Every structure is written in C-alpha cells, then in structure tokens.
Amino acid sequence: MRRTVESGGFEEFLESSRAVAEFIKERALEGWSFTVLCHLDADGLSSGAIVGKALMRLQAPFQIRVLKQLDERSLKEVYTKDRATVFVDMGSGSLNILSSLEGAENIAVLDHHQPLETHLEEFKGAHLNPHLYGLNGSTDVSGSGVAYLVAKGLDPSNVDLSPLAVVGAIGDMQNRNDEMRLRGVNEVIVREAVESGLLKVEKDLLIPGRETKPIHRALASTMTPFIPGISGEEDKALAFLSSIGIPVKDGDIWRTLADLSEDEKRRLLDNLVAYMASRGVAQAETQRLVGEVYVLTREQRFTPLRDCREYAALLNACGRLGKPGLGIAVAMGDRRRRTLEETASVLNEYRGALARLIEGVIQNPSRLIDAEEIVIVNGVGLIPENLLSTVASILSANYPKPLIAFTETEDGMVKVSARAPKRLAEAGVNMGRIMAEAAESVGGVGGGHDVAAGALIPSTGRGDFLKRVMEFIGETVARG
Ligand code: C5P
Ligand code: C5P
Ligand code: ZN
C-alpha cells in the first residue's frame, strides 16, 4: 500500500533509522574502521559526505569510496570484511550480492532504490529503505535524506547536515512535480533546515545562478528544462534578452536575475514559454521554469553553493567528470578558494558538454527515434557513459512517454538509462522493475526507481533487451 508521511509510514521509517544508527554506533564503539561506499552523482556524493561527517563526529576512522556502479567486480576492489561497510544511495537492489559477502553482518545499507524483495530476509546486516515503509524512494526521500535521518539518529546535532539532504533530493530531481517543490520526507527535512536557520525557501524562476550570474549566462546555463538554441549558447541568450527589451547591464554592471523587477521577470517568463513552445518544448516542461528555490543561508552569497540546485549541479559535474574526491571535499565543508575555483571550472565544462550532447542528439534524427510508445536515444560513439544519465533526464522531460537512452562503456558493455513520466509510473509502469527483468533476461543487471532506472548489459544482448522492454511497457499500458 502506498503510504505517506501523514499516514504513518514515516514514524516507523524514523524508528528504523534510529535502529540503524544504533547498529553503526555499536561498531564505532567496538573500534571498527568504516568504509563508506556511494554513487558518483549529486545524491551519492551528498550521502557519502553526510555519513562521513557523522562518522568523523563519532571519532570513528573511515574512508569514502565513490563507485560508478555496484557490481561484483567493483566490490572486489573496495570491500573487505575487516571493516564495517556503509552502502549509501546504493545497495538495496543488490542484496543478493551483499548477502553472499563474508562479514555481511557488519554491513549497513542506507538506500532509497527499490529493494530486491527476494533477498530481504536473507540479508543479515542493517537495511534502511523508505519502500519498506510504504514510502516512495523516487519522490519522498533521496539517498541523502536516508543518510541524514541515520546521522540524526546518531546525534541530534547532525541537524546541520540537513542542507546536504536537500541538495541530494534536488540532485535526484525529487521536486519534479507540478509545483516544482520537495514533498514527503523531503519536506520534513526542509522544515528542519529552515528551523535551524540554514535554509530559506522562495518561489521564483528556476534559473541557475540567480544571484551569481549575469542574466544571459544564467539563461544559457539552464539545462532543466533545456531551452533549445539558448541552453549552452550565451550569445543567443543575450540576443533573446535584448529582443524582449530586458537590459543586461546597469551602467557597467551586469544584472542578475535577482536584480530584475517583478514586471521584467514576468516578461521574461512569458517570452521564454512562448519561445520554447515555438521550438516544440512540451507545456508541462515549460511549467518547470517556476518553483521553489532552496537557498542555503550560511553559504557565501554570489557562489554556486548558495542555491541547492546549483550546488547539486556542481556535485554532479565533479562526480561525472572524474573528480568525485573534489565533490566529496566540498560537500564535507571545504571552502578554500582554490577548491571553489576548481569546482567552478568543472561545472562550466559540464554544462558545455551537456549542451553539446543534447544538441548533438536533437539535431540528428538517426540518434533519436520517437516511436509510438517509447523514445529511444542511441548515444553510441557520442555520449560518454558518465553523462548518459543526465542527458536522458534532460531529454525525457520533453516526452509524455518512456525514454530509453543507451551508450557503450569503456569495456564494451552497453549502459542504459531509462526514464518514465510520473503519470505513467502512477499508472503502473515501473521502470526499475522493467530494467531489472529485461537486463536479467540478457545476462545483465538493472534496477532503480519507478520513474528513473538503469541497466548494464552485454552488447550482444542489446536488441533482445530493447524488445523485452517494449513488451513490458506494452503489457503494462494494455493492463492499465
Ligand atoms: O541513483 P539515484 O537514485 O541517486 O539517481 C536517480 C537519477 O534519476 C538521477 O540521475 C535523477 O536525476 C534521475 N531522475 C530523473 N527524473 C525523475 C527522477 C529522477 O531523471 N523524475
Ligand atoms: O544511471 P542512471 O542515473 O540513469 O540510473 C537511474 C537510476 O537507476 C539511478 O537511481 C541508479 O542508481 C539506478 N540504477 C540501478 N541499477 C543499475 C543501473 C541504475 O539501480 N544497474
Ligand atoms: Zn539517489
């Protein structure tokens, strides 16, 4: 049964988070050293940093390892039974693998992906997952949110880590609803951050760098929603603003979004919506231009860390462009000038690469097949595996049907990112299950959430895999 924060699932979930905290504390007191394993996206890095901080405050020795994916091969490199291990933002879909490890009784899994139900009983470590309490891990709480609740179970003063839980939830796009705001457990965490004076919530245009960037650069760096012809193109953004009579300078000083009057903001929004509609962007997507903005009040003004959305983009950039250590350092509080300069340049590079990839797909009909029930994006030879997920998320927003993107990995496998609109997920299309089953049928692995999932499969299985996926989607749509 689907339960909500109001209907009681949250209380049991919270209780379980305290039990998992106790499990970790016991081992810390017994003198164990810890390995924290997390994923390389914004939610993964935020959750790794939350657990790292909490362990540091317990004075428990720990190291954080960032994984591209959880599989037997990567585990061989990082897992040892001699250390207690915390899997965060990963693990629930791999309980079979974890159960077979020696020392599994010293593993804690803090995750929000759909659990592998067949192995729940078998796993002897600690396991915290919102799905086990009727909550939805793709909308109610992120991996960072799960990690934060455990950190608070360890010590209430860890409430100062709440901003990271908000960053993680935004990174996982858990605010992708008609109001563009965080709900469920995330809303409870937002409230705690606000009450602690660490966060303020405002309603505004969702354009990155509201206070930090000249308005044309802010527009050009908007990736979700993707604005064809403007995202990634500062000159075109500049021309657009001048065509609608919005001055980009006040004397010699560049204006930011925060400097615009209400009337100018309204004009910008109306014109953007009309322009995007003329470029074929779905209306549901243009509505995503306005929503709640989460401002971190203790971060320096005029830095990307001030706005949770930009903070998340920065962590994604670090993780996906091969600098996960830099992302972890920032999330754990490193604010040295050199660090911040480096992250700013990684973020720039990331946005440029994404804009080029998206244009590369939408300009090339052979890469994007818009079929009746599904959109397929072929990224082979174009999209690097670490950027596939973000490209899939951005493109998917434009279609009222599932989107499957794939590319080749360095070692010749096929990596798949699948997205489904919320409406279809509510009607029973569960991408996480579809990916798990279709991948298994061709000897690969898959899983994830109802609206966002992925898989890694052998390249010889690609055709059969896609066929299975189409069958599953067809069956669910027919049933619904
Ligand atoms: O592994 P994890 O749960 O952290 O990642 C979820 C992924 O799904 C993120 O990359 C997020 O951006 C994506 N997502 C999406 N659309 C949604 C929800 C999540 O593309 N509605
Ligand atoms: O890689 P991508 O971000 O597209 O994956 C979407 C979601 O599916 C993420 O939450 C990711 O952790 C999850 N996933 C998974 N098992 C896989 C591949 C992806 O649980 N084999
Ligand atoms: Zn996550």
Task: Please check whether residues 427 and 451 belong to one and the same domain.
Answer: yes
Residue 70: inside a domain: yes
Beta bridge partners of 455: 416, 446
- Residues 48, 54: Cα–Cα separation, whole Å: 10
User: Residue 470 has which token pair?
Assistant: 């189409």
Specify burial of residue 447 (Cβ count, 10 A radius: 0-12, 13-18, 19+).
Answer: buried
Dist. CA 454 → ligand 1 center (Å): 10
Instruction: Quote the mean pLDDT of the chain.
Output: 94
Residues 19 and 147 in one domain: yes
Same domain, yes or no, for 236 and 330?
Answer: yes
Q: Within 10 Å of residue 96's Cβ, how many Cβ atoms?
A: 12
User: What average pLDDT does this structure show over 112-130?
Assistant: 92
Ligand 2 centroid–CA 58 distance in Å is 31
**Tens digits of residue pLDDT in 412-438:** 999 999 999 998 999 889 999 999 999
Q: Which two tokens stand for residue 349?
A: 């590079």
How far is it, in rounded angstroms, from Cα 287 to Cα 268?
13
Question: 350: which 2 tokens?
Answer: 């990331």
Model confidence pLDDT, tens digit, residues 311-333: 999 999 999 999 999 999 999 99
Residues whose Cβ atom is located within 5 A of ion ligand 3: 43, 89, 142-143, 172
Tens digits of residue pLDDT in 345-402? 999 999 999 999 999 999 899 999 999 889 999 999 999 999 999 999 999 988 889 9
- Rounded Cα distance, 458 and 34, in Å: 33
Residues 47 and 138 in one domain: yes
Mark whether 126 and 39 lie in a shared domain.
yes
Q: Is 26 a residue whose pLDDT tops 80?
A: yes
Picking from 334, 361, 388, the residue at the C-terminal end of a domain is 361
453 C-beta closer than 6 A to ligand 2: yes
CA dist 436 and 420 (Å) reads 15
Q: Are residues 370 and 457 in the same domain?
A: yes
Is 379 touching ligand 2 by the criterion CB < 6 Å? no
SS3 295: strand
Question: What φ, ψ does residue 107 adopt, rounded to 5°?
Answer: -110, 135
462 and 398 co-located in one domain? yes
In this predicted structure, what is the pLDDT of residue 260?
A: 95
Asked if the structure places residue 448 within a domain, the reply is yes
Does 242 reside within a domain? Answer: yes
Distance CA 372, CA 309 (A): 33
> Angle 242-248-249 (CA atoms, 0-180°, nearest 5)?
135
Atom of ligand 1 nearest to the CA of 137: 3
How much is the pTM? 0.94
* Co-location of 211 and 357 in the same domain: yes
Q: Answer yes or no: do 51 and 90 share one domain.
A: yes
Closest CA to 307 of 355, 256, 356, 260: 256
- Claim to verify: residue 36 and residue 68 sit in the same structural domain: yes
> What is the count of structural domains for the chain?
3
Angle at 406 between CA 404 and CA 411, to 5 degrees: 155
User: Ligand nearest 388 Cα, by number?
Assistant: 2
Q: Whose CA is nearest to atom 12 of ligand 1?
A: 172
89 lines ligand 1 (CB under 6 A): yes
Q: Which domain holds residue 93?
A: 9-162
- Please name every residue paired with 290 in a beta bridge, in sequence order, or none if there are none: 205
Q: Which of 418, 406, 479, 407 is nearest to 447 (CA)?
A: 418
- Residues 308, 343: one domain? yes
Q: Which range is least confidently modeled, 135-144, 159-168, 277-286?
A: 277-286
pLDDT-derived band at 480, boundaries 50, 70, 90:
low
Place of tokens 């990224």: 379
* 194 located within any domain: no
**HSE-CB of 441 using CA atoms within 13 angstroms:** 16
Q: Please tell me whether residues 129 and 228 are part of one structural domain.
A: no
Q: For the chain, what is the radius of gyration of the CA atoms? A: 22
